[in-house]
Structure 1
C-alpha cells in the first residue's frame, strides 16, 4: 500500500453533536448520546489520530450547541482545525462576525503561524418555527456571506439588500489572519448552487455515484466562473473499513440488524432540513441501489435508512477505501469529511488503516 503522491487532500472527521451516534442504527444508546464528554472524546480521538479538520454539526432541535462546544474544545486542541457549522437563519450577521473572530482567536494559530484554524460550514437554515421558501432563503445566505467576508476582511460595510440594510465599521476583534475564514457550503437545488458559486470557498457534496459527482463538479465550476471565481470541492461520506471486504460488509449489515423501519423514518424526518433537495437525492440513491444497498462499487446506501442528510458509506478493506478516495481525488475532490458508527471507534480504525497512506493536510486558500 503506497501513498498517492503529489496530490494532497484535507481529511476531516465528524463529531456527533446532533444525537447521531449508534452501535446499531436507530437504537438509542445512553453511552453514545450527544453529551459534552462523548463529543469531546470524538474530537480528541480525531486530533490524536492525525486528522486535519473536524466538522462540528448544528441542529436546532438536536444535541449540543455548536458555538459553546467549539469554544470549550478550542483550548484542548493544539493542531486540529474546526469546521464549525452555523445556521444562518438563527443569527444576526454583525454578531456572527464577532463570534467567528473570537472563536478563531480562542482556537489559536495554524502550524505555520500564518493564520487561524477555524473554518465555517454555512447552513442556509430557516429560523426555528418559521418556513422560508428556497429562493429567498438562499438569497439571504448569499447576503450573510458577503457581509461576513467584508467585516472579517477588516473592511467597512455598506450593505443594502433584500434582507439586510447595514452600514458598519469593521469589528475591533479580528481573526488571527485578519481575513474571513473559508466558507464550506453545500446544497443541490439551483438556488443553493448559485449561492455557493457566488460566495463559498469549498462546495460540499453528499455521497453519490461517480458520474453524478463528476457532473456536479463540472456544473459548479461553470457557475463559479460566471462570478469570476473558482471553488474547491469537498465530499462528505461515512466509512466502514475492515481488514477484508467481507468483514466490512458484515459490519454494515450489523449496523442495520436492529433497525425498525418506522424508527428509521422518524429519525429521517426529525431534521428541519428533511425535505431539501440534497436529502431527496439521498433517498433517490437508496432507491437506485441493489438489494444489498450498494449503488456502485464500495458505496453503500444503508446508512440513509436511519439518517437525514449524508446517507451512504464507503465500505471495504483499506485498499478499496483508498482506491475510492483516490478516484474522487481524480475527479477534483480536495477535501473529505468522514464519519462512522460509533464515531470514536471508527475514527481510530480509519486513522490506523487508511490515513497513513494518504498524502493529506489542511486546505490552503
Structure 2
C-alpha cells in the first residue's frame, strides 16, 4: 500500500540551476558562454521565479561551478518567491555549523529554503556505503533535533553533540523541507526516517510505482508518512514532432569520448542509481526511448538523472498527471539550455498544473 503525506491533488514544481558548468545547447559540448558564473546562474533562477516555479535545485559539485549555499544567500534577495533547494553533501560541514548556516539562510530569506541532502563521497575520499549513509543519518538526526527540540542530545558513531538548540532554530520555516534520494536499501532507510520528500530519477512507470510503495512502507514502519519527488529533464514544444526534432538536435554533436569524460567528473558517476539509469538506457529503442515520451539519451553525458520527457504540451501534461496518479507530489525539471527550456515549460505546461509549495501546505495543516 502507498501512503503519501500530501493527499491533495497538488505538486511542487521546481526548476534546476547550473552550479557545475553543465548548461549547453548541444549535449557533450562545453559551452564557455554558459559557464556557471553568477550572472548566468542568477538569470536562470530569476527566469524560473518569473514563471512561478516554487523551487529551484542548486546542485553540489567540487571541481567546477559555484557553491550552492553561498549562491543561495547571494541570489535570494534578488528573487521574489522561489525557494532554493540547496544540495548539501552530508559531512562536508560540521552539523551544528551547518544548522547555523541553514537558520541564517532561513532568516535572510524569510523561510525560503529547502534542503537536498546528498550522500556521495566527499571530494578526495572514497568511502563505503555503510559509512556514508551512517554519517548522513546522524547529521539529519542532529539537524532535526536542532529544528524541532529544545536541546540537541546526540551520541553516535560519528558525532557526539550536546548543545542548546536555540541557535539552530529556523524562525520562519520551522523545519525546512528535506529532499533525499538514493535507490540502495541504505538510502531508502535514511529517506524513510528523515526525509520529507524522497527524490527519484526517471525509470519505467511500474518500476517507480514499486519504489514508491517500498519507501512508503519503510517510512510507515517508522511512524512517518512522506512525499515523493521526480527529477526529470524536459523537452516540450507545441507538437511532438517539434520536441523530437529538438531532441535529435541536442545529441547531434555528441562525441562518446567527451561524453564519458564529462560524466566521470561527477561525484555520483559510479553509484547504484546511475547504474540503474545505464541499464534502462541499454533497453531503449533505436531513438533512445525507454517508454512513451521518456527519452534516455541525456544519461550518455550526465550521471544521475538520465532521461527527459519529450513531447507536446498536452502529452507532457498528461504524463505528469500519470506520475501524480502513482504518488508523485514534487517535480524538479531542467532542459538544455536551462533558461530557454525554462521558458518553454513555463509557458506551455506550468500554468496548467496544480502547482503548490509543499512546505506551505504542511504548515497550513499543522495550524488547523
Aligned to 2:271: 276
Distance 2:127 2:228 in 1: 27
> Which among 317, 332, 335 is matched to residue 337 of structure 1?
332
The worse-fitting range, judged by mean Cα deviation, of 31-40 and 165-174 is: 165-174
Aligned to 1:42: 44
CA deviations on 1:221-274 (whole Å, 9 max, x unpaired) are: 111111111110000000000111111001001000001001111111111111
Distance 2:46 2:156 in 1: 42
TM-score (norm 2): 0.94
Measure how far apart 1:344 and its partner are: 0.3
* Structure-to-structure mapping, 1:158-237, within 5 angstroms: 158-172=153-167, 174-177=169-172, 179-237=174-232
Aligned to 2:89: 87
Q: Secondary structure at the match of 1:127?
A: coil
Aligned to 1:19: 21
Distance 1:348 1:178 in 2: 29
CA deviations on 1:266-308 (whole Å, 9 max, x unpaired) are: 1111111111111111111111111110000000001111111
Q: Secondary structure at the match of 2:15?
A: strand
Aligned to 1:55: 57
> Does the 8 A contact of 1:89 with 1:126 survive in 2?
no
- Residue 102 (1) aligns with residue 123 (2): no
Q: Count the aligned residue pairs.
A: 353
Measure how far apart 1:154 and its partner are: 4.8
> Does the 8 A contact of 2:20 with 2:61 survive in 1?
yes
Q: Secondary structure at the match of 1:91?
A: coil
CA deviations on 1:196-239 (whole Å, 9 max, x unpaired) are: 11111100000110011100001001111111111100000000
The worse-fitting range, judged by mean Cα deviation, of 207-216 and 173-182 is: 173-182
> Does the 8 A contact of 1:153 with 1:178 survive in 2?
no
> Does the 8 A contact of 1:90 with 1:125 survive in 2?
no
Q: Secondary structure at the match of 2:179?
A: strand
Aligned to 2:351: 356
- Residue 346 (1) aligns with residue 348 (2): no
TM-score (norm 1): 0.95
CA RMSD across the alignment: 1.1
Measure how far apart 1:180 and its partner are: 2.2
Distance 2:98 2:247 in 1: 40
* Structure-to-structure mapping, 1:86-165, within 5 angstroms: 86-108=88-110, 116-165=111-160
Runs of 4 or more, structure 1, over 6 Å off, are: none
Distance 1:308 1:127 in 2: 17
> Does the 8 A contact of 2:99 with 2:168 survive in 1?
no
In the superposition, relative to structure 1, how do residues 283 and 162 fare at CA in structure 2: closer, same or farther (>3 Å)?
Answer: same
CA deviations on 1:20-58 (whole Å, 9 max, x unpaired) are: 101001111111111101010000000001111111111
> Which among 44, 67, 70 is matched to residue 68 of structure 1?
70
> Does the 8 A contact of 1:88 with 1:126 survive in 2?
no
Measure how far apart 1:176 and its partner are: 2.4
Measure how far apart 1:124 and its partner are: 1.1
In the superposition, relative to structure 1, how do residues 178 and 204 fare at CA in structure 2: closer, same or farther (>3 Å)?
Answer: closer
> Does the 8 A contact of 1:22 with 1:341 survive in 2?
yes
Q: Which runs of 5+ in 1 are unaligned?
A: 1-5, 109-115
> Does the 8 A contact of 2:150 with 2:166 survive in 1?
no
Distance 2:80 2:26 in 1: 33
Distance 1:227 1:61 in 2: 38
> Which among 311, 317, 320 is matched to residue 322 of structure 1?
317
Q: Secondary structure at the match of 2:26?
A: coil
